[in-house]
Amino acid sequence: MPTPASPDRPATVPNADRGTPDARRLTDAVTRLRRALRASIRSDYPWETLPMAQVELLQVLAEHSPARIGDLATRQRLATSTVSGLVGQMITSGLVARATDPGDRRVSAVTLTDAGHAQLAAWTRAHERRLDTALTRLDTADRAAVRAALPALFRLAEHLDDSEH
Amino acid sequence: MPTPASPDRPATVPNADRGTPDARRLTDAVTRLRRALRASIRSDYPWETLPMAQVELLQVLAEHSPARIGDLATRQRLATSTVSGLVGQMITSGLVARATDPGDRRVSAVTLTDAGHAQLAAWTRAHERRLDTALTRLDTADRAAVRAALPALFRLAEHLDDSEH
DNA sequence: GCAGGTATTTCGGACACCGATGTATTCTGG
DNA sequence: CCAGAATACATCGGTGTCCGAAATACCTGC
């Protein structure tokens, strides 16, 4: 990445770490991780890999058997229209099924199909293997730091979106 | 989110925290943070807010004066076609300028315009304020945990994408 | 029975990406 | 000097990830 012929500023510090505010470093970290995760998954399962958004819905459904669209949306903090679309695709590919709730015919109860269970299991296996490998390459301190930060990161996300005025 | 009428499994543990592998929790955290960040930014600056991908390029450009498309792509781990497109939009909106390198006329040197600097500064101010507010709401331990994990997260991302076989 | 809510779907649109393909331009061997 | 081979980008088409506004079907209280 050397910019061959360019002043490039009087060279503050080659390592842009200190001096960079946490806000930006955090944002950068999230972006990088997201991209790395996506790329990593694709390189593992080049053939027809599931879109992340669909995997997330499958995960929720694996724990909360019949779920309504609205609940899925709330839990994932997505617009209902988004979930509706996702579920539509997943029905087409046979991962989930939609049944009309007999008690209230407006709501549709979404459930995992066997294919859905199988796909989720396969995806999870591959993904965990890949991510665990990367985690193993970190030294003990780093690994501990990541693990320790997880709950804090969730809380941070919550603060961010419930201050959504 | 109560799933009214459904067995929902013999109820392992209501709190799906322990038992959930780190791989998934990490992935979830990244996804949630990403969405929260996006939403938070939009709620702050509803009017014509800059797309994240553009902001990131502006940030790089603010530190590495004239940069070539390829360098930007490498640094951000994006395909050159992606950066090329982004730069195209940014030129249209006046944030950056493109000049042909006289030494090698294939390469184009991208630089920030004054408008680009200004927009970046405004964005950064707003974004940092918002994120710092959320960080402040965390207790000291959480905040420390997040800060401590940042370098580890970057390294993790690196491991993930350089094991890209 | 109908006005007003509620759950979902549909539609259109913005963004974030990538790979394949095309086009200058430069470099290289002979 | 000059036909490739390589390089740096640009362009295209495609997928995924989202949202808000407008329709639709259904339910409920009066």
More confident residue, B56 or B48: B56
Q: CA B22, B28, B34: angle at the middle one, nearest 5?
A: 135
Q: Does A100 touch chain B (CB under 8 A)?
A: no
Q: Which of residues 98-137 of A touch strand D (CB under 7 A)?
A: 104-106
Mutate one of A153, A154, A158 to test the B interface: name it (highest B CB count within 10 A): A153
Q: What is the pLDDT of residues B75-99, one digit of tens each?
A: 999 999 999 999 999 999 999 999 9
**Closest CB from A124, A142, A156 relative to B152:** A142
Interchain proximity A65–B40, CB inside 8 Å? no
Report the pLDDT value the prediction gives residue A19, as an integer from 0 to 100.
64
Nearest C-alpha of chain B: how many angstroms from A118?
Answer: 17
Q: Cβ of A152 and B146 within 8 Å?
A: yes
Residue B38 touches chain A, beta carbons under 8 Å: no
C-alpha closest to that of A34 among B135, B14, B160? B160
Residue A49 burial (C-beta neighbours within 10 Å; 0-12, 13-18, 19+): middle
A152: its two tokens: 């804090």
pLDDT band at B7 (very low <50, low <70, confident <90, very high): very low
**Residue A94, CB, strand D, below 7 Å:** no
pLDDT at A65: 83
Q: Does domain A52-113 have CATH number 1.10.10.10?
A: yes
Among A100-114, B28-42, B56-70, the range scoring the smallest mean pLDDT is: B28-42
Asked if A134 and B59 come within 8 Å (Cβ–Cβ), the reply is no
The identity of residue A8, as a single letter, is: D
Q: What is the mean pLDDT of residues B131-146?
A: 93
pLDDT at B11: 40
Domain ranges within chain B, ordered by starting residue: 22-39+118-163, 52-113
Q: What does R_g of chain A's alpha carbons equal in angstroms? A: 21
pLDDT at B45: 61
Could you give the CA distance from residue B100 to residue B102 in angstroms, rounded to a whole number? 6
CB-based contact B90:B54 (threshold 8 Å): yes
Q: Which sign, positive or negative, has the C-alpha torsion A6, A12, A18, A22?
A: negative
pLDDT of residue A164: 62
Q: What share of chain B is helix, strand, coil (3-state, %, to 5)?
A: 60, 5, 30
CA B88 to chain centre: 20
Specify whether the CB–CB gap between A147 and B137 falls below 8 A.
Answer: no
Q: How confident is the model at residue B40 (pLDDT cuts 50, 70, 90)?
A: confident
Please give the average pLDDT of every successive group of 10 residues along chain A, which has 165 residues. 41 53 92 92 72 96 95 97 98 96 95 96 91 92 95 94 67
Total residues belonging to chain B:
165
